[in-house]
């Protein structure tokens, strides 16, 4: 395969990235609030990055010790 074909294949394989602002705007309900807390509006994210951030936030252990 030529170098030109290799570069074209790499570009097609790259996952699309979207600005955090657009992802937040497209979300509904509680998801919008969660994305607003997790994403930076001007930074670009792939779907896999957003899913990983959401998964990490939802699996974060909650401290149930009520003592302050």
Q: Specify if 60 maps to a domain.
A: no
35 and 23 in contact (C-beta within 8 Å)?
yes
Q: Specify if 9 maps to a domain.
A: no
Backbone φ and ψ for 27, nearest 5 degrees, come out as -75, 160
What does the block give as tokens for 15? 């996952």
pTM, to two decimals: 0.69
3 state DSSP class of 57: helix
* Residue numbers of the domain that contains 45: 16-55
Q: What pLDDT does 12 receive?
A: 62
Q: Rounded to 10 degrees, what is the CA torsion of 7, 12, 15, 16? A: 110
Q: How many domains does the chain have?
A: 1
Q: Specify if 7 maps to a domain.
A: no
Q: Specify if 31 maps to a domain.
A: yes
Q: Specify if 61 maps to a domain.
A: no
What does the block give as tokens for 33? 């609030």
pLDDT digits (tens, 9 = 90+) for 3-52: 565 555 555 678 999 999 999 999 998 899 999 999 999 999 999 999 99
């Amino acid at each position: 395969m030529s170098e030109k074909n290799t570069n074209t294949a790499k570009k097609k394989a790259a996952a699309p990235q979207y600005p955090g602002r657009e992802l937040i705007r497209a979300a509904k309900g509680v998801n919008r609030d969660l994305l607003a807390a997790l994403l930076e509006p001007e930074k670009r994210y792939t779907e896999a990055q957003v899913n990983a951030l959401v998964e990490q936030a939802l699996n974060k252990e909650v401290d149930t010790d009520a003592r302050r």
